[in-house]
Amino acid sequence: MNETIECEVVMLPNKSAQTCLGLIKCIKDWTSSCFPDEDKNKKGDISFGKNVSKGVFEYWRPQHLHLTSNEEVKEGEPYYDFFYNTVNICNDVLAANVKAQGMVNLEIAKVVATTDTSFCLPIIPEMAVKKYADKNIIAEKVLLLRSSHGYYDSKEKWCWQPLLSGNNEVVVIRWIYPASLAQEQATKIYGK
């Protein structure tokens, strides 16, 4: 029996952040004037930020992680829109369209966990976000530990719920990186 839930990973800018605490993404190349060979960042790098100075926003932007699934989204629940690259709350019209057309046809995915506390969803633990940032590679998917609870959606499909800690945090088993990355790393280690 599979005891995990596989979710897609979406990283989007945190537009309301006033500091660079948590997950951050480099938006502009930077090189230290003191240690140019050791201390530099390239556009697209990700890190776990601890900087609270306003000047850091010239080079870094705070980010949120959202974990999505193909489960049916219901009215009042957050969803990721692939076309607009945004997370929104499902309204009654969209919920009716989901029942009629399905999630794939609408190019949306249900958000099941996030680092954005404004959505009142299970939270991705800080330690898991740090591990995500440590690799400086954007993961495609994540495996979450599933609970013994779930529900049937409107199409009678069983949907497992993720296991939650006492702090309303999901349990991250591991991040899944692109297959091309694994091949690239193996080539660096073992040659052709």
What is the pTM for the complete model shown? 0.81
DSSP of 67-101, one letter per residue?
A: EEESSPP-TTSEEEETTTTEEEE--HHHHHHHHHH
Query: What gap in Å lies between CA 170 and CA 147, rounded to an integer?
Result: 10
Q: SS3 for 99?
A: helix
Give the distance from CA 27 to its chain's centroid.
18
Full residue range of the structural domain in which residue 98 is found: 4-190
For each successive 10 residues of the chain (192 residues), what is the average pLDDT? 84 79 82 70 81 69 91 92 93 89 86 92 92 82 86 74 88 83 50 50
Q: What is the pLDDT of residue 109?
A: 93
Element of type H or E holding 80: strand 78-81
| Residue pointed to by tokens 């009654």 | 92
Q: What is the pLDDT of residue 189?
A: 47
Domain total for the chain? Answer: 1
